[in-house]
Structure 1
Amino acid sequence: MQKEEGKNIVKMTVSGDNSETIATSPTEMIFEPILEHGVFRFDCSVEHRKAAFPSVSFKNIKDREVPVISHSVPAYTPTCVCLEEKQVVTFEFSPGTSFYGTGEVGGELERTRKRVFTWNTDAWGYGPGTTPLYQSHPWVLVVLPTGETLGVLADTTQKCEVYMNRGIIRITAPTAYPIITFGPFSSPTAVLESLSHAIGKNCFMPPKWALGYHQCRFSYMSEKRVAEIAQTFRDKKIPADVIWMDIDYMDGFRCFTFDKERFPDPSALAKYLHNNGFKAVWMLDPGIKKEEGYSAYDSGSKDDVWVKQADGKPFIGEVWPGPCVFPDYTNSKTRSWWASLVKNFISNGVDGIWNDMNEPAVFNTVTKTMPENNIHCGDDELGGVQNHSHYHNVYGTLMARSTYEGIELADKNKRPFVLTRAGFIGSQRYAATWTGDNLSTWEHLHMSISMVLQLGLSGQPLSGPDIGGFGGNATPRLFGRWMGVGAMFPFCRGHSEVATDDHEPWSFGEECEEVCRAALKRRYQLLPHFYTLFYISHTTGAPVAAPIFFADPKDSRLRTVENAFLLGPLLVYASTLNNQGSHELHHILPNGTWLRFDFEDSHPDLPTLYLRGGSIIAVAPPHLHVGEFTLSDDLTLLVSLDENGKAEGLLFEDDGDGYGYTEGRFLITNYIAEKHSSIVTVKVSKTEGGWQRPKRRVHVRLLLGGGAMLDAWGWMERLSRLLCLQKVKFQN
C-alpha cells in the first residue's frame, strides 16, 4: 500500500495481483464494545455495520449485534479501505509480535510471512504451503512482545485472505463484514476463554470412550474383517476403543444403507464390538445418489431439501455414488430431515458418525466443489436466501450440526460424537475434527503437531491427524514415532488410504508393535488427565493441547518451538526427525521447574514427558479400553513440587457419558502437596459435585528429576462429610 503525496488516494496490490487498484485513503474503523469487557466490534462505517450479514460463528447471534455499556476503548484500532467490492482491513503492531491461529493450515507454527485463504477445499496430499484446506478460520492470535495477547476475528463466511508479516495483519474479503477483537489480555489463555464466550466452548463434553484410540481404514471391506481387527487388538493387548467404517460398508456408496453381502447385519456387528469393549463409528457423506427408489433421495425430493442451481433445479454433482444431489443444511427444514435419517441410522448400533466430503467436495470439476452461483434457502438468522459463495465455508459445520442433533434425538442419555472434515470457526460446538488427507512422510509427522496446536488456538480442542499418514506407506520407524506423538494428541486415530499397506499397530514388525503398545498404554494411563483437561476446556474454553509458549508468553525462545506442546502442566517433547530420538534432541524448556518422568517405558520413538513444578496430575492403571475402568481402580498421583516445595492439581470424574455431570453427578477433587523438612504431605484441599468419593488405594509418586521417583501408598476414606487423603510421608 503506498499513499501518493498530496493526494487522498492510495495504490494497493491485492491478493498477489500485480495490477494496482485506486481507492480512498485508509480510515480508522468505527467501533463499539460488545459481549464483555475487552471485546470490540469494528466496522468500516455505520452503513457497513447495517449491511453486514448475521454471524454464523457466534453461538448467540445477538451477542455481536447488541453493544454493551463500557467506558473502555480498544488498544488497537484497524484501518479500512474499500475498493470495488472488497474490504481490506489492516492492523499494525510493534516489532517482535508473533502471529498464530488461522485454524487448519499447514506450515510453521508461527505465522509471520504466511498468507492464508479461507475456502473449504478437498486437499488430498496437501503440503506445508497449501492453502486453503478443509476448514476456514479467519482468526489470528496476536502475541505481543510483552506477552499480552489479542485475538482478531474477521466475522465473514465469504472467501477471505489473511496475510501476516512483520507486525502487519491484512484481511481482504467481500464487503461488508465486521472485525471482532478480544483483548489484549494478559495471556493467550485469557483470549481463548473470551473467544469461547462468543463462538461457544467445546459444547459437547466428549464421551470418555472418544478419548481412547480409534482404528480406521479406507476401508475395512467386511464385517468379518472388522471383527478380525477388533480381536487382534484384544489378543495382542493393544489398547483401543473404536473401530471405524468408511464408505465401503454402504450399498453402492448410498448413505444410510448397508451392503447386504459384506455388512449384512450391522446390529449384530455392533453387538459383537460392544461385547468386546469397542464402539463403532460410521461414515455419512452429504452427496445423496440421484436415484428414484432410494429412500433418502425420495424423501429428500418430497421435502424439497436439495441445494438448487441458479435456474431453480436441484444441483447434480458427481461424487462416490455417481450423480448426487446435496442437502441444503442452511435451512432448518433440511436439518430436521437429515436429523431424522440420522436418528433411524443410530438404531443399527451406531455409536458415532463421521462426516466426510462435506466442503462439499464434487468430482470432475476444476473448483472441486459446486458452482458459487448455486442457491441456498438459508434461515433468516443465517443470512436468508444466498448463493453458494456465501454459505460454502459453513456447509460442513451445518451438516455436522444436523448430524449432532440427529444423534441427540436417538438417545438423550448419551453424548453425541461427530467427526467432521469441513468446518468453520465455531464448529467445535458440534464436532471433532481431523487434519484431512495427509501423507506418510516425516514432513507430515512434523507438521501434524503445529496443525493440531493451531486448531486448538482457533477454538477447536478435539483434533488430531491420521496417525501414520493417510496417503502412502509408512515405514516402521515413521509409524512408531507417529504413534508415540499421536497418542498424546487430543484426538487419537490411525487411518490409511485404500491400496496402501496395512497400517494397524502390528503391521510393521515386533519392535514397532511394542512401541505402539507402549504409546497407547501411556495414553490410557493418562486418560484421567485428558478427561479432566476436556472438562476444563468444556467449561472455560481453554485449549487441551497448547504450544509451550503458553507456559511463559513473554519468553521469545518458546514461540517457535514446533516439536513440543503442553497438556495442562504436562509437557510433551517429541522428535520428528528420522535419525534422532527425542532423548537426543536439545529440549528448550520454559523457566521454572520441569521434572522428567516416564512409565518405565523409555524408548527413542516415544516422546519425553515433563511435569511442571507445582503440579499434580492423576494417572490410572493401564486398561485395554475405557469400559474396563472402574471407580475402585487404584489411582496414581504424580507430584512435581515447585521451588517452594508445593504442588496442586485437580481431577474430574463422572460416568464418562450422558449428562449427569450437568446435574451435579460428578466429583472434582483438588489435591495439594507440601513439603516440610523431609516430609511431603498430600491431601485433598477441596471437592465439588454430588458424587461420594469411591474407596480406593492411592499411589503417590513424587518426581525427583532425571526420571527418579519416590513412592508411597494411601487410602481414600470418607470421614463424616469431609473427604480427605491420609497423609503420605516420604523420607529422604
Structure 2
Amino acid sequence: MILNTQLEYKGDLFPATIKTYKKDVDVLHFSTTNNVILQLTVLRDSVLRFRYTTVGKFENDFSYAIDENASRGYNHLEISDDDEKYIVTTSKLICHIYKSDLRKSIFDAKDKSLICEDEKGFHWEESYELGGDIVKMSKAAQNGESYYGLGDKPNHLNLKGKRFENWATDSYAYGKDTDPIYKAIPFYTALHDNKSYGIFFDNTFKTYFDFCHERRNVTSFWAQGGEMNYYFIYGPKMIDVVSNYTDLTGTPELPPLWALGYHQCKWSYYPESNVKEITSKFRELNIPCDAIYLDIDYMDGFRCFTWNKDYFPDPKRMVKELADDGFKTVAIIDPGIKIDMDYDVFREGLEKDYFCKRADGPYMKGKVWPGECYFPDFTRPEVRKWWAGLFKELIEDIGVKGVWNDMNEPAVMDVPGKTFPNDVRHDYDGNPCSHRKAHNIYGMQMARATYHGLKKFNYPKRPFVITRSAYSGTQRYTSTWMGDNVASWEHLQIANIQAQRLALSGFSFAGSDIGGFAEQPNGELYARWIQLGVFHPFCRTHSSGDHGDQEPWAFDDDITNIVRKFIEIRYQLLPYLYTAFHQYSQDNVPMLKSLVLFDQDDSQTHYRTDEFVCGNQLLICPVNEPNAKGRRMYIPKGEWYNFWTNELVLGGKETWVDADLDSMPIFVKAGAIIPKYPVQQYVGEKSIDELTLDVYYKHGKEDSELYEDANDGFDYKKGRYSLRKFNLSGNDNKLVIRIHKRGKYETPYETFKFNLIGLPFKVKSIKVDNEYIDLKDVKFNGDNSLVLSKGFTNLQIKG
C-alpha cells in the first residue's frame, strides 16, 4: 500500500451520485448514494469552504487555525441546478458541483473564465494500517500555472514541479532540499492567466502537497487522517488572496517598537560578566541594539523557569542594569520539563496531571537538554493557563521582556522520528486525539500559552514571543525564525526565500539567524547577511557559538563599519517598518512582497527569487555570492530611485547594479514618502524632535502612509494613534502633497523635514494650506530640503 502518494488511484474510493441537496442559510449540503457528504459554506463572496465526510456525518467542527474575528458575510448568494450540476453563484465566484461524482469547477463571476477545477476531485483510501481514511484532493493544473506559499519550505520560491510534506521537524543544519522542516503551514496560492486563488487545507495531520510533480497536469494534496476540509480563496490579485487568508487565520497585535530593532543572540551568553561585556561593546562601538538573548545555559541544569545562580547570582539586578542601558532581555523557554521531584514546576505539573500521556497510561517520557523530561499538553486550556502563570517571576518580578520558544515541534533526542510516538494522547480542547493529529499544532499552542503569560505579566506593555515551530494561525501570538541554518552562501539565499514565503503564507514577523547558526561565516558573508537581515521584519544575529564569535565586531574594522552602517539604516527606517507592521496587523497586508506578489501581471516576476519589496516602496536585492562587486537583478515595472545615488531607473527589465561590500541594491519607488528617525542606539534613547520625510518626486500619483503611536502599550486600540496618509502628485513644474490624518495620538515632534529628491525644476514658490510661504521661513535651501510644522494638510511646491 502506498500511503503518501496522491495519484495512486488503485484502491481509492470516490463519491457516487448526489441524491439529496439542502440549504441552511450560507451552508449547502450535498449527499451522495454512498454516504459522502459535501458541506459547502459561503464565508465571503470570494471565500468558499469545502468539507467532506465519508461516513454520513461530520465530527465536531473545531480549528486552532481559524481566527474568531475572521470576516464573514457576502453580497450575493444564488443556487440553481440543471440536469448535470448544481450552480452556486456569489458576486465574485460561480461554483459548479457535478451531480454524477461531486467534482467541482470554479469560475470568475465577472468574465466567466475558469479559475480552478477538480481532476479526480475528492477521493479517499481506506488505510487499515492507520486505522482510518487517507483523504485526498486532486485538481487539474491550468496552462502556465505557478504555485507559491507553504510557509518555511527552503526550496525555490515557485513550488511548481515539487512535492512537499508538512510535519513540524527539528531540522538542524537543513539544506535547500530538506523537507519537512520546522513549520507546517498548509496554504498555497496559485496563479495563471493573471488570476490568483489560494487553497488552505486546514488539516493538522501529516499533509502532503504535489504541484505537478508526479503528473505534469495535476496538483494535489492529501492527509493521513482527519477531514478533507479546505478553503478556496479567490483574488484575482494574489495580494488579496494572501490578505483574505491572513484575515481567516489572524494577525498579531502590534509589537513593541523595540522588537523591530536589532537583536543579538548566541548559544550561549553566560555568565553575567559575558552578557555585560557584549552589551557594553555595542554601546562602546555605537552599534544600535535593543535586545540581548539568554539561551538554555542561564537555567539551573536546563530546568525551565529557573536560574543558574553561579552564572547569574542576581538576575533581577542584571536585567534592570541592562534595561537602564537600553537592552531588553529575552530568555529561552523549552517545552521539556525535567523529571525531578525537587523541581517545583515538575512537581506541580505531576500533581495536577498536566503532562502528555501514552495511549496505555504512562507519561510520555523523552530526552532533551535537561535529560529525561515530561511534556505539558498545551492542547488543554487549564494547562495553557498554568503555563502562562509560570511566567510571573520571570516577567513581572525579574523584568525579562521577551520569551523565545524553542524545541517545540516537539523535538525529542535519541529517537528515530525526533519527536513523540504517534500513540501519545492530547485533549485538543475537548476533542481527544492522538499525536498524529496534535503534532503540528503543539508548538503553536505552547506559543499561545506563552503569549498569554507575557500579556498578563508584562501588562500594560506589549508581549514579545518568538517560536520555532508553527501551524497556520500561529502568527496571531508570536514572531518566528527559520531555525538552525548554516553559515553558507546557499543559506543566505535560503533565508531570503523563506522570509518571502512566510510573508506569502500570512506570517510576516519572521527572520533568519543572521550569519548562520551552524558553522562560522567569514566577514564578507556576515556583512552580506546583515544587509539582507535588516530588511526582514525580525532582525537577529544568532549562532551556535562553538565555532567562534559572531558579533558585529567579530571580524575586522571594515566589516564592523559596514554592519554598523546597515543597522543604522534599519533604525532610521523604524517608522517605515512600524507602518508596514500596522498595515499587516490591521489590513492583513504582508510586510514583505515577493515580486510576483508585487506585480503578478508581469510574467517576468513569476520565477524571481532574490528581489523583494519591503513594505510597499523599498525594493531590496541581497548580494548572495562571494567576491561580488554588484549583481544583475530585475527591477519591476515603473520608476525607481537608486537609494544610494538618487539616480532614476526605469523598471521592467533586468539590469546590472553596482554593489561593493559596503553597499547592496536598494531602490525606492518613485512618488514614495519614506519616514525616517535619527539614528538611536536603542528605541527610546532619543526624543524625536523632528521627523524626516524623504520625498521621491514622481510625474504622476503615489500614496504613502505613516503610522505612529506610543510604541508600546495598548492605548492605540482606544484610538490613541496617528495615521497620516500622504497623496503625492507631480508634474513638470509642480509637486503637491496632501496629508490626511486620523487618530487621537499627538506625536512628540512638531516639525517635518522634507528632503525633496529628483525634482525636475528649480523651486520658485511654496504654498502651505493655500498660503504662500517665504522660502527662508521654511529653512529652504539649495539642497532641496525644507522644514514645516506638522499640522498642515496641503503643500504645493512650484517651479
Shared fold (TM-score greater than 0.5)?
yes
Mapped to 2, the partners of 1:51 and 1:185 lie a distance apart of: 30
Equivalent position of 1:648 in the other structure: 703
Equivalent position of 1:32 in the other structure: 40
Partner of residue 362 from structure 1, selected from 389, 393, 412: 412
Mapped to 2, the partners of 1:27 and 1:403 lie a distance apart of: 47
Equivalent position of 1:5 in the other structure: none
Equivalent position of 2:674 in the other structure: 617
Mapped to 1, the partners of 2:736 and 2:42 lie a distance apart of: 47
Tell me if the contact between 2:709 and 2:747 (Cα under 8 Å) persists in the aligned partners.
no
Equivalent position of 1:486 in the other structure: 533
Equivalent position of 1:56 in the other structure: 64
Partner of residue 296 from structure 1, selected from 345, 362, 366: 345
Equivalent position of 1:43 in the other structure: 51
Tell me if the contact between 1:243 and 1:278 (Cα under 8 Å) persists in the aligned partners.
yes
Pick closer, same or farther for the CA change 1:288–1:490 going to 2, 3 Å. same
Query: How far has the Cα of 1:65 moved from its partner?
Result: 14
Q: Which amino acid aligns with 1:366?
A: P
- Larger helix percent: 1
Equivalent position of 2:637 in the other structure: 591
Greater shift in the superposed pair: 547-556 or 257-266: 547-556
> What are the superposed Cα offsets for residues 593-612 of structure 1, whole Å, 9 maximum, x if unpaired?
11111399974353221112
Q: Does 1:188 align with 2:238?
A: yes
Q: Does 1:660 align with 2:715?
A: yes
SS of 2:516 mapped into structure 1 = coil
SS of 1:34 mapped into structure 2 = strand
Mapped to 2, the partners of 1:363 and 1:716 lie a distance apart of: 61
> What are the superposed Cα offsets for residues 505-557 of structure 1, whole Å, 9 maximum, x if unpaired?
00011111111001101111111000000001000111101101223101111
> What are the superposed Cα offsets for residues 454-486 of structure 1, whole Å, 9 maximum, x if unpaired?
111111010000000000010111000001111
Mapped to 2, the partners of 1:517 and 1:498 lie a distance apart of: 21
TM-score by length of 1: 0.91
Mapped to 2, the partners of 1:405 and 1:300 lie a distance apart of: 18
Equivalent position of 1:606 in the other structure: 663
Greater shift in the superposed pair: 516-525 or 28-37: 28-37
Equivalent position of 2:287 in the other structure: 238
Q: Which amino acid aligns with 1:83?
A: E
Pick closer, same or farther for the CA change 1:160–1:63 going to 2, 3 Å. farther
Tell me if the contact between 2:43 and 2:49 (Cα under 8 Å) persists in the aligned partners.
no
Q: Which amino acid aligns with 2:426?
A: H
Mapped to 2, the partners of 1:717 and 1:86 lie a distance apart of: 61
Greater shift in the superposed pair: 502-511 or 14-23: 14-23
Q: Does 1:701 align with 2:750?
A: no
Tell me if the contact between 1:34 and 1:67 (Cα under 8 Å) persists in the aligned partners.
no
SS of 2:703 mapped into structure 1 = strand
Pick closer, same or farther for the CA change 1:448–1:441 going to 2, 3 Å. same
Equivalent position of 2:772 in the other structure: none
Equivalent position of 2:248 in the other structure: 198
Pick closer, same or farther for the CA change 1:99–1:671 going to 2, 3 Å. same
Partner of residue 578 from structure 1, selected from 626, 644, 649: 626
Query: How far has the Cα of 1:68 moved from its partner?
Result: 9.8
Mapped to 2, the partners of 1:415 and 1:350 lie a distance apart of: 12
Mapped to 2, the partners of 1:167 and 1:591 lie a distance apart of: 31
Q: Which runs of structure 2 are paired with 1:667-682 in the superposition (5 Å)?
A: 667-682=722-737
Query: How far has the Cα of 1:43 moved from its partner?
Result: 2.9
Query: How far has the Cα of 1:411 moved from its partner?
Result: 3.0
Mapped to 2, the partners of 1:27 and 1:432 lie a distance apart of: 45
Equivalent position of 1:318 in the other structure: 367
Runs of 4+ in 1 over 6 A off after TM superposition: 17-20, 26-29, 61-68, 599-602
Greater shift in the superposed pair: 74-83 or 559-568: 74-83
Q: Does 1:538 align with 2:585?
A: yes
> What are the superposed Cα offsets for residues 634-689 of structure 1, whole Å, 9 maximum, x if unpaired?
22212233342x333110000111111100111111123333543434342x1010
Q: Does 1:125 align with 2:194?
A: no
Q: Which amino acid aligns with 1:37?
A: D
Pick closer, same or farther for the CA change 1:30–1:705 going to 2, 3 Å. farther
Equivalent position of 1:724 in the other structure: 793
Greater shift in the superposed pair: 19-28 or 72-81: 19-28
Greater shift in the superposed pair: 29-38 or 436-445: 29-38
Q: Which amino acid aligns with 1:436?
A: G
> What are the superposed Cα offsets for residues 211-253 of structure 1, whole Å, 9 maximum, x if unpaired?
0000000000211111111110011011110000000000000
Structure with greater Cα Rg: 2
Q: Which amino acid aligns with 2:219?
A: I
Mapped to 1, the partners of 2:537 and 2:316 lie a distance apart of: 29
Unaligned runs of 5+ in 2: 18-36, 79-88, 96-105, 107-115, 127-132, 647-657, 761-781
Equivalent position of 2:694 in the other structure: 638
Mapped to 2, the partners of 1:293 and 1:332 lie a distance apart of: 26
Q: Which amino acid aligns with 2:386?
A: W
Tell me if the contact between 1:404 and 1:417 (Cα under 8 Å) persists in the aligned partners.
yes
SS of 1:535 mapped into structure 2 = helix
Q: Which amino acid aligns with 2:669?
A: R
Query: How far has the Cα of 1:393 moved from its partner?
Result: 0.4
Pick closer, same or farther for the CA change 1:246–1:167 going to 2, 3 Å. farther
Q: Which runs of structure 2 are paired with 1:58-207 in the superposition (5 Å)?
A: 58-60=66-68, 71-72=89-90, 73-74=94-95, 75=106, 76-78=116-118, 79-84=121-126, 85-146=133-194, 148-165=195-212, 166=216, 168-201=218-251, 203-207=252-256
Mapped to 2, the partners of 1:192 and 1:154 lie a distance apart of: 14
Query: How far has the Cα of 1:362 moved from its partner?
Result: 0.6
Tell me if the contact between 1:668 and 1:688 (Cα under 8 Å) persists in the aligned partners.
yes
Tell me if the contact between 1:13 and 1:20 (Cα under 8 Å) persists in the aligned partners.
no
Q: Which runs of structure 2 are paired with 1:197-596 in the superposition (5 Å)?
A: 197-201=247-251, 203-346=252-395, 347-380=397-430, 384-567=431-614, 568-581=616-629, 584-596=630-642
Equivalent position of 2:12 in the other structure: 23
Mapped to 1, the partners of 2:675 and 2:495 lie a distance apart of: 27
Tell me if the contact between 2:294 and 2:330 (Cα under 8 Å) persists in the aligned partners.
yes
Partner of residue 713 from structure 1, selected from 783, 786, 792: 786
Q: Which amino acid aligns with 1:58?
A: I
Q: Which amino acid aligns with 1:154?
A: F
Mapped to 2, the partners of 1:654 and 1:65 lie a distance apart of: 31
Equivalent position of 1:6 in the other structure: none
TM-score by length of 2: 0.84
> What are the superposed Cα offsets for residues 179-234 of structure 1, whole Å, 9 maximum, x if unpaired?
43343213111112211221112x22111000000000000021111111111001
Mapped to 2, the partners of 1:175 and 1:27 lie a distance apart of: 21
SS of 2:151 mapped into structure 1 = coil
Pick closer, same or farther for the CA change 1:37–1:705 going to 2, 3 Å. same
SS of 1:22 mapped into structure 2 = coil
Mapped to 1, the partners of 2:583 and 2:70 lie a distance apart of: 26
SS of 1:536 mapped into structure 2 = helix
Greater shift in the superposed pair: 498-507 or 460-469: 498-507
Mapped to 2, the partners of 1:679 and 1:629 lie a distance apart of: 36
Mapped to 2, the partners of 1:602 and 1:700 lie a distance apart of: 27
Tell me if the contact between 1:222 and 1:263 (Cα under 8 Å) persists in the aligned partners.
yes
Greater shift in the superposed pair: 343-352 or 164-173: 164-173
Mapped to 1, the partners of 2:693 and 2:56 lie a distance apart of: 56
| Cα-Cα RMSD | 2.6
* Higher relative contact order, chain-length normalized (CA < 8 Å, sep 6+): 1
Mapped to 2, the partners of 1:52 and 1:472 lie a distance apart of: 48
